[in-house]
Amino acid sequence: MSQQATDLTHRLIPSPAGRIHLVEQGTGPLVLLVHGFPETWYSWRHQLPVLAAAGYRAVAIDVRGYGRSSRPAEVDAYRMPELVADSAAVVHALGEQSAVIVGHDWGATIAANSALLRPEVFRAVGLLSVPYTPRGGPRPSEVFARLRSAADEEFYVSYFQQPGRAEGEIEPDVRGWLAGFYAALSADTMSAPGAGPDPHFVSRGGTLRDRFPVGALPGWLSEHDLDVYAGEFERTGLTGALNRYRNLDRDWADLADFDGAAISQPSLFLGGALDASTTWLADAIAAFPVTLPGLVSSHLLEGCGHWIQQERAALTGRLLVEWLAGLPV
């Protein structure tokens, strides 16, 4: 086992979810790292030692519903204010009053809303892959229901929103499904031979897996890495993770008082130039001068897909450290 691995400290701490599992490395100002779907704390394995070496207390959590954190049974336990409460609870349970929060994918949305709802706790926010889009507009389920391809295929978010439907596709072969999903959104495999049509849509009567590339794993994902992810989801199932998608309308109602709200804390955005999250949400990125007036640094990484802190691990670590070094203490 490497020295870096042995330096990691695993903890279970109380939170509104019941418990949150986290992995910690280093001492100094607290940096809270929040993963997305379908991942765990392990997605930050490359950045934990880099942040620790730079003089930070780096803490990567398992979001409620994932890994060794609690998995409440109620679907509405995964609404955004509950996840924000978990973020704040972690900071206080670690004996800190404030922290920088950094998130990827759904974790970016959790990080943004943590900064928005609890500015006294989160003094800066880093967003990876998914740009900040303020609450507003029609009810989300209505928006996603209208997102269909020319062939009238269903958008993946609508597919995930129906309890049990995606689980029925994924859980008979968790490892194979994860391998395909990771590959479908990775720069080096998203257009590989055998790749199907756009993996963000589902054909009528089909599954999302029908669109995944067949063959080699993406370069950032070793067989061991895949075993780690698959082992967690084979143990926990996918319902807790998928319940995030099933609360979008609840979030829309819960956050009504923050309609159009900007995040004023110092912020960072990192995205992959080949990631649909950045191409589809290009207008949100263009609106950053209004929505993220404290933006310090923004980078679109050429040739990079969705899994940015794993596809471009060293560069992500360097950009994070550079941004953190410039923040007021």
Q: Which residue from 127, 123, 98 is spatially nearest to 111, judged by alpha carbons?
A: 127
First-to-last C-alpha distance (Å) of the chain: 35
CA distance 288 to 274: 20
Task: For residue 254, give both structure tokens.
Answer: 């819960």
The active-site residue, picked from 35, 200, 299, 306, is 306
Catalytic residue chosen out of the listed positions 62, 86, 105, 254: 105
Tell me how far apart the alpha carbons of residues 164 and 159 are, in angstroms, rounded to a whole number. 10
For residue 105, indicate whether it is catalytic: yes
One-letter amino acid of 166:
A
Cα dihedral 59, 60, 64, 67 sign: negative
Long-range contact set of residues 229-232: C-beta below 8 Å, sequence gap at least 24: 229/38, 229/39, 229/40, 229/42, 229/178, 230/174, 230/175, 230/178, 232/40, 232/42, 232/66, 232/67
Inter-residue contact 130 to 157 (CB < 8 Å): no
Residues forming beta bridges with residue 24, ordered by sequence position: 9, 59
Residue with tokens 């229901």: 145
CA distance 194 to 189: 10
- The neighbour count for residue 128, using CB atoms within 10 Å, is 31
Question: Taking a C-beta distance cutoff of 8 angstroms, is the pair 17, 70 a contact?
Answer: yes
249: annotated active-site residue: no
Cα(146)–Cα(152) distance, integer angstroms:
10
Tell me the Ramachandran region of residue 164: left when phi exceeds 0, alpha when psi lies from -120 to 50, beta otherwise.
Answer: left
Residues serving a catalytic function are 105, 306
